Amino acid sequence: MNGNKPGDSQTLACVFCRKDDDCPNKYGEMKTHEKWNITVHYYCLLMSSGIWQRGKEEEGVYGFLIEDIRKEVNRASKLKCCVCKKTGASIGCVAPRCKRSYHFPCGLQRECLFQFTGNFASFCWTHRPVQIITPNNYRESLPCTICLEFIEPIPTYTILRSPCCKNAWFHRDCLQVQAINAGVFFFRCTVCNNSDIFQKEMLRMGIHIPEKDASWELEENAYQELLQHYEHCDVRRCRCKEGRDYNVPNSKWEIKRCQCCGSSGTHLACSLLQSWEQNWECLECRGIIYNSGGFQKAKKHTLPNTNIVGINDCLLEESSPKLPRQSPGAQHKDLLRQGNKFRRDISTIIIELGFQIIKKTKRLYINKADIWNSALNGFRNQKFNPSYTIEVVYIHENDNFGIEHPGSKQEFLTLLMQHLENSPLFEGSLSKNLTLNSQAVKENLYYEAGKMLAISLVHGGPSPGFFSKTLFNCLVYGPENTLPVLDDVSDFDVAQILIRVNTATNVADLNSVMNECYNYLELIGCLRLITSLSDKYILAKDILTHHVIKRVQAPFESFKQGLKTLGVLEKIQTYPEAFYSIFCHKPENLSAKILSDLFTVHTLSDAQSLGFWNSYLQAVEDGKSATTLEDILIFATGCNSIPPAGFKPTPSIECLQTDFPVGNKCNNCLALPITNTYKEFQDKMDFAIRNTLRLEKEESCHYIGQ
């Protein structure tokens, strides 16, 4: 019937649409009846206007009898498709007096709507059902709740809104893929979990919901791993010579699972457990228990006088192996292995946090020369709400005319985070900890700093990137579960005391250090009787813990409360691995390819300029220009790195008849000059970017000086 040889599956085409595309998501399953040499797409067959399912499911093709299919193909051969102008248009619009007919693929191309329910009606692009919403409710783009890409919240053929959650929007393609995978039993609103109202509306709008179980339920042995016991030792220093997976019941090498989550384990001997009956919690669960108030500090134990351990193996990395540990809560797994149960992409997490931001705006008046105080005044304003959309206006303190300049929110947040990193609230060179500043505690500035950092992240600001591992662990697991290291000490005198204690070779040397530092040790409560050289480890640990953690307890608690703004701290504690990458590490270095991919081309009247632009980026990366890739990004967006949640709006370039490039930081738009030669293009770019950034820096210094 379709002119193909039986069994030639590679060239068989659908008898209705005459396409051989095997695309189940678009056209349904492609099936061939070998006896009669008939091949059909399921949707082409289902939506054809002149055929009905008169047989049982196993008869013919999907219950459609062969003779009925032949009659329908013969009927369609007399109808011309209004899209491709070819015959075989078996589907017609059901609207009264509408004579449009089309193939199923042509209908999809022309955005016709097919209802996979009831009488399986089809509507042309003129008469298809639409979703009605109140106009002007949404002014800015919102994310598709499935793929999280931003879309314009206007109901169209490709964009659909949930009938039960008014702020939930979807791509049609995303919904269709989800419906096919979930089936009728699991397809529901991704926000509120409603199925009845949601499915009824989606069927009306042409989403096919197959009557089958979910694809993940049909996969053989899909959840087989849930039936297996976890048998792996996860403590940082496993003492079993046979390896972490070695498990011998009723011995010290038997693996005990965490009593809270069951997905972490330890050998009894590795955590000094005397028997199987003793309770044990993994690091993550112990941190949660601590933060919920259920944590009790472990009792101190006296050190034995044997098994001296080197300073590099214990003090600077973890507690001395001589300490009897009642719980591994004080031990740390490597941070790259933490949060395995909660692995998620940091950009997705921050975008989800951004869903809290509402349309109501709050204007902040920012003086670039005094970024901290102007931000502080704005955030402390009684009318300020962290969930409001922030609108930035730049002002000059000495401007008698009170001229306001529209500002870039992401530039403001970048400048604020740069100031915070270098403020007196933090100490250290690259990896920073909190300082003890009594005036800042009195003015509640640590709370404000935490609040600013949380607001910056949720509103699209840059990665902090300057936290020490110790400060981050204190936030995630609590100070009681965190062991500082020597690098956390920025005070030169305290660092020297620690080094002298660590390098003492006998009891006399250790007592000599104790005598010289008697007043300091008495002040911080670390005086102790020295009976053996091994006491130096506990002494050094006490000094470290006091200086890095206990000394700054008040600033830390205040800072922690500020970080709770918009639920940021809760997310940090839930997904520590994801947040560790942006709190303790600077963003990756920019490259020509990254910038080229970052900027989209909205208006390009001169193709040559685009070639110049790509060549210029490569020249800058190769060091053949006076500017840097960071300079280009600052010039266009006000940011020296790509924020974790990305830019909004997306950075773009356009070509204009201008003498020099122009950066619009409010819209993240870079206007390129149109030139005749590449050298002229590079000279203009270098001159404008270098001098603009220099003038901005000089202006800031000038106002600070005044």
Burial code (b: 16+ CB inside 10 Å, e: under 16) for 461-471 equals bbbbbbbbbbb
Distance of alpha carbon 284 from alpha carbon 279, whole angstroms? 15
Q: Which residues of 437-452 are buried (b: 16+ CB within 10 A; e: fewer)?
A: beebeeeebbbbbbbb
Distances (CA, A) of 296 to 275, 287, 327, 329: 21, 11, 11, 11
- The three-state secondary structure class of 392 is strand
666 given a catalytic annotation: yes
Among candidate residues 562, 567, 523, the one with its CA nearest the CA of residue 543 = 523
Q: Give the residue from 459, 454, 488 showing the smallest Cα distance to 474.
A: 488
Pairing of strands 113-114, 122-123: antiparallel
DSSP 126-162: TT-------TTS--S-EEBTTT--EE-----SSEEE-
Distance CA 333, CA 300 (A): 22
Sign of CA dihedral 587, 591, 594, 600: positive
Distance CA 190, CA 302 (A): 55
As a whole number of angstroms, the distance between CA 85 and CA 52 comes to 26
What is the DSSP code (8-state) at residue 649?
S
Contact of 226 with 234, CB cutoff 8 Å: no
Side-chain-side CA neighbours of residue 554 (13 Å) = 11
Interatomic CA distance for residues 558 and 569, integer angstroms: 13
List the catalytic residue out of 147, 189, 666, 669.
Answer: 666
Q: Which helix (H) or strand (E) holds 364?
A: strand 361-366
Closest CA to 377 of 437, 450, 441, 445: 445
**DSSP three-state, residue 424:** coil
Q: Which residue numbers are catalytic?
A: 666
